[in-house]
């Protein structure tokens, strides 16, 4: 509702203020940010340097999430985590620390895990975002998800999406991980309930099943 309203009312402007917390973060994918209007996209492409200012009003951008291109209207201070949760209602991604120290907000950018709370939604660009909601394909669980269920690797479940993201990435990229590998893959994932032993077991079990 709210998004739509902002969308229709917001015309891309030049010289908009970018929030200071994102300044200097590096516009790694600046040239490829997809915007709804070409005019702005061209402007943006012409000056893809760190320190470029835009905002504070919302801007409409496009983002490919779980294989579907979505259009959303976001303020420049919006993180990827907030865009997913608050704008696209993909609330599987959790925000726990909001400063890159718990991995509850882990998503993939072109297949690589990132902390979405630490990333400006404007830095996503053409990269494809995969969230926990996109891990099961056509209703079929990933072996890691299946193993998490079998080995009781979730308790309250709040860290679980982030844990699953870390473990799926490991299992998809390492055909024969050992315990040490699983520990390394989840070393940034905070879990207060203490699911770690079952997470380790589940992931090792899943890796056997994916060979």
Partner 1 sequence: MDTRKDKFPHGIPGHNLSEIEREIPIEEPPAWPVNDKLKVIGKRVTRIDALDKVTGKAKFTSDMKLPGMLYAKMLRSKVPHANITSIDISKAKSLAGVHAIHLIENVQKEGEENKGGKYPQVKYAGQPLGGVAAESLEIAKDAIKLIEVNYQNKPFIIDMEKAMEIGAPIVFDVPIAQQEDGGDVGEVHDGSKGKGNVRGPSTSSFFGGPRGDLAKGFEEADLVVEKTYRTQVHTHMPLETHGVVVDWRADVMTVYASTQNTANVRNEMANVFNLPKSKVRVVCEYMGGGFGAKHSAGSFGPMAATLAKKSGRPVWLMLDRQEEHISEGNRPSSIQYLKIGAKKDGSLTGIQQRSHGTAGVGLGAGVGRIAQVLYPCPNFATEQYDVLTNAGPGAAWRAPGNVQGAFGLEQAIDELAEKLNKDPLKYRDLIDKSEVRKVERQRGAALFDWSRRQPAGSGKGTVKKGLGVGQSTWPRFVTLDSSVEVKIHKGGGVEIRSSVQDIGTGTKTVLAQVVAEEMGLEVKDIKVNIGDTFFPVGPGSGGSVVTGSITPPTRNATYEAKKELLKLVAKKWEKDSSELFIKDGQVGHKTDANLKMSFKEATKLMRTSQISKTASRSDDYGGFQQPWGLAFGDLGSVQFAEVSVNTDTGFIKVDKIVAAHSCGRPLNIGQLESQIHGGVIQGVSYALYENRVMDNGTGHMMNANVDQYKVPFSMEIPEIETVIVEEYSARSSTDAYGIGEPANIATAAAIANAVYNAIGVRIHEIPITPSSILKALNKVS
Which spans of this chain sit near partner 1 (rule: CB under 8 A)?
1-2, 75, 77, 85-86, 89-94, 96-102, 104, 131-133, 135-136, 141, 145, 148-161, 164, 182-184, 186-200
Q: Closest approach of Cβ 121 to partner 1, in Å?
A: 13
For tokens 């599987």, name the residue. Answer: 92
Q: Which does 39 bind (CB under 5 to 8 A by kind): partner 1, ligand FES, none?
A: none
Residue among 48 and 92 whose Cβ is closer to ligand FES: 92
Q: Which does 53 bind (CB under 5 to 8 A by kind): ligand FES, partner 1, none?
A: none
- Judged on CB neighbours under 10 Å (0-12, 13-18, 19+), 186 is buried
Comparing CA positions, the residue from 207, 155, 139 lying closest to residue 178 is: 207
C-alpha dist (Å) from residue 89 to 11, 34, 206: 24, 20, 29
Site residues, ligand FES (CB under 6 A): 95-98, 100-105, 115, 117, 154-160, 191-193, 195
CA-nearest of 209, 105, 120, 208 to 164 is: 105
Residue 160: CB atoms within 10 A of its CB come to 23
Q: What are phi and psi of 43, to 5 degrees?
A: -55, -45
Task: Give whichever of 6 and 154 is closer to ligand FES, judged by the CB atom.
Answer: 154
Tell me which of ligand FES, partner 1, none is bound by residue 161, counting a contact when its beta carbon lies within the kind-specific cut-off of 5 to 8 angstroms: partner 1
- Nearer of residues 166 and 207 to ligand FES, judged by Cβ: 166
């Amino acid at each position: 509702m709210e998004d739509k309203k902002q969308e229709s009312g917001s015309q891309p402007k030049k010289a908009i203020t970018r929030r200071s917390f994102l300044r200097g973060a590096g516009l790694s994918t600046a040239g490829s940010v997809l915007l709804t209007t070409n005019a702005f996209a061209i402007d943006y492409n012409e000056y893809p340097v760190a320190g470029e200012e835009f905002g504070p009003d919302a801007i409409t951008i496009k983002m490919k999430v779980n294989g579907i291109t979505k259009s959303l209207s976001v303020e420049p201070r919006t993180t990827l985590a907030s865009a997913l949760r608050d704008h696209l209602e993909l609330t599987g991604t959790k925000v726990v620390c909001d400063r890159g120290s718990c991995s509850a907000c882990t998503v993939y950018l072109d297949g690589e895990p990132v902390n979405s709370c630490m990333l400006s939604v404007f830095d996503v660009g053409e990269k494809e975002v995969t969230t926990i909601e996109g891990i099961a394909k056509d209703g079929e669980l990933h072996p890691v998800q299946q193993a998490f269920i079998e080995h009781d690797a979730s308790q309250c479940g709040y860290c679980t999406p982030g844990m699953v993201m870390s473990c799926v990435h490991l299992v998809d990229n390492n055909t024969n991980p050992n315990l040490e590998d699983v520990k390394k893959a989840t070393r940034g994932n905070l879990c207060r309930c203490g699911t770690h032993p079952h997470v380790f077991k589940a992931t090792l079990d899943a890796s056997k099943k994916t060979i």
